[in-house]
Amino acid sequence: MADLLAKVLTVSDGVVHGTRDDLSGAALADALTAAGFTVVERALTADGADEVARALLGLCDGFAGLVVTTGGTGFAPRDQTPEGTRRVIEREAPGLAEAMRLVSPLGRLSRGIAGVRGQSIVCNTPGSPKGCVEQINAIVDVLPHALRLLAETPTNH
């Protein structure tokens, strides 16, 4: 795989309405860049399952790479990112989500999921800058291999 591509989706009513800065999206983009990914798009959507599903469909369509969401994985009523993600993915990748949750005690409060749509891997991370970076860093070492498998590129395993 010549280049590791990534897209970041911030899920936040506050950022959409201009009452909060997108610190988590920026932190994720920086962490992914540091890990060797080229972040080709950053997007924004309001909270809610319908909004998340619609945004993810657009980001995954024809894309081969990593799509990471930040926000909407907690217990608040509008935290519906996992529900929207489930509508979009074709297969779950529970090992990724489990590893992400194990990174810190607060990870246990994340309802985020991970899965595959086409040649995209979709991972939900929390909305805090610290939490999203901790969780993506927990799996970033295996993502290049997983993306090669999805693209049916020869691997050494």
pLDDT tens per residue, the chain (157 residues)?
Answer: 458 999 999 999 999 999 999 999 999 999 999 999 999 999 999 999 999 999 999 999 999 999 999 999 999 999 999 999 999 999 999 999 999 999 999 999 999 999 999 999 999 999 999 999 999 999 999 999 999 999 988 666 5
CATH of the domain at 93: 3.40.980.10
Phi, psi dihedral angles at 16 (to 5 degrees) = -60, -40
Residue 121 within any structural domain of the chain: yes
Predicted local distance difference test score (pLDDT) of residue 152: 84
pLDDT on residue 69: 98
156 domain-assigned? no
Helices (H), the chain: 13-16, 23-34, 49-60, 81-88, 94-101, 129-137, 143-150
Residue 126 placed within a domain: yes
Q: How many domains does the chain have?
A: 1
Kindly tell me the burial class for residue 58, based on how many C-beta atoms sit within 10 Å of its own C-beta (0-12, 13-18, 19 or more).
Answer: middle
pLDDT of residue 156: 66
pLDDT of residue 126: 97
Residue 46 in domain: yes
Structural domain for 110, as ranges: 4-150
Q: What does the pLDDT read at residue 153? A: 80
pLDDT value at residue 1: 43
